[in-house]
Amino acid sequence: LKGICHAVPRDFAPDPLRHTANDFKMNSGTVRGIVARWTRRCVLDPLLRLTISVEASLTDARFVRRQQLPADLSSRILFYPAVAIERLNRGLGDRRQDLLFDRYADLNLVHYGPSGRGYQAVAGSDSSERLRRYRGQSSRLEYFMDCFPELLNFNNGDSFLEFGCGTGQNIRVLAERFPASRITGFDLNQDAINLVRECEDHDGLVLTRGDITLEDSRRSALAGGVDHVVMCHTFSLLFGRSRLATEQLRLNILFDLVTAVRKTVVVIDTFSGVERPKIRIEQKQRGIVSDDLLRYFVKLQNGRAYTVHSDRSQAVVFVKDALGLPEI
């Protein structure tokens, strides 16, 4: 900003005798705006148009050949470089994804571990602050409970298990609405579990620390069966050391859930329509995976899966045996 101010005509320069601080802000804002518009129009847009035009020619060269359409000379010349670039891009993209999976498979555990950033603020706070935090939390599950009660089929007396319950955002709502239910919270992080244990006085509350990606830990939580399993913004954190390992792990987890559950599995998260899991960096020590969750359920039997939306999330609801619910 300083550099820009020095370069503008004298009238725009701050003069404490003639200009107020607001004048200066407005003027330098205007200059910044002019420079930004000029840079966009004269530098960025032409560069972007050039890359789009190159990409269009390469894509078209592949398209023409694959569809066996009549090809002009430039299309014929471009075909081989176009295929080479496509393969290189795909190869590099896949390799980069696998390296990210490998990196974040460890780092996510650190993020939610004892000294990770995940629950840094929870451990140190005093008891009134902890209670305020617990009671002030909002639940993403609540919206789906209110809007899709027939689909979720939650009833007082049913048993619930939330994998990745965190500080009990959903546990609090389940406890309030279903006083006769057994509600189990399961999470990796001890500080989060301690907060729920301290602040929630529901009679049927059970809390367990564990890692859902470990078969023994997951199966022992599911032993004996449960009416409803909930997973809320946790599925996107579950992945293996590669794309392939992630697909297998996710299928194994969902298989165990649909096998053990008696009524519904509710997975709330942000999903994508891409066919294969894709990881992105969200924080230094937290990677997030999105993929098309419904396709896993296609491979799983004994029920039907539905997708429903809120303004903040999506949910895939698997209904065991789905008696009385419409075909999809």
| Among positions 172, 202, 233, 243, the unique one binding ligand SAM when judged by CB under 6 A | 233
Give min distance, CB of 97 to ligand SAM, in A.
20
Q: Is residue 279 within 8 Å of residue 289, measured between CB atoms?
A: yes
Instruction: Give 184's contacts (C-beta < 8 A, 6+ positions apart).
Output: 159, 160, 161, 162, 205, 206, 207, 208, 221, 226
What is the torsional sign of CA 200, 204, 208, 214? negative
In the 8-state DSSP scheme, what is residue 41?
I
Burial label, 73 (beta-carbon count in 10 A; 0-12, 13-18, 19+): exposed
Q: Give the end-to-end CA distance of the chain in Å, rounded to a whole number.
A: 58
- Residue 237 binds ligand SAM (CB under 6 A): yes
> CB under 6 A: which stretch of 71-79, 144-152, 153-161, 229-237 binds ligand SAM?
229-237
Please work out the total of residues on this chain that contact ligand SAM, with binding judged by CB under 6 A.
20
> DSSP class of residue 183?
E
The residue among 48 and 214 lying less far from ligand SAM, judged by its C-beta, is 214
Q: Which residues contact 229 (CB under 8 A, 6 or more apart)?
A: 160, 161, 162, 163, 222, 257, 260, 261, 264, 265, 266
- Candidates 28, 75, 97, 170; binder of ligand SAM (CB under 6 A) is 170
Between 117 and 146, how does the x/- string for binding to ligand SAM read (CB under 6 A)?
A: -x---------------------x------
Q: Smaller CB distance to ligand SAM: residue 78 or 238? A: 238
Contact status: 285 vs ligand SAM (CB under 6 A): no
Task: Please report how close the Cβ of residue 123 comes to ligand SAM at its closest, in angstroms.
Answer: 13
Residue 250 in contact with ligand SAM, rule: CB under 6 A? no
Region near ligand SAM per CB under 6 A, out of 11-19, 28-36, 96-104, 182-190: 182-190
Of 65 and 286, which CB lies nearer to ligand SAM in the complex structure? 286
DSSP character at residue 236: G
In the complex, what is the shortest distance from the CB of residue 155 to ligand SAM, in angstroms, rounded to a whole number? 21
Q: Does 188 bind ligand SAM (CB under 6 A)?
A: yes
Which residue from 112, 134, 239, 271 is in contact with ligand SAM, where contact means CB under 6 A?
Answer: 112
184 binds ligand SAM (CB under 6 A): no
Among 213, 242, 264, 285, binds ligand SAM (CB under 6 A): 213
CB of 326 to ligand SAM, least distance (A): 28
Angle (CA) 182 187 188, round 5°: 160
The secondary structure of residue 178, as a DSSP letter, is -
* CB contact burial 50-67 (16+ within 10 A = b; e otherwise): eeeeeeeebebbbebbee
Q: Which residues bind ligand SAM (CB under 6 A)?
A: 112, 118, 140, 164-166, 169-170, 187-189, 192, 211-213, 232-234, 237-238
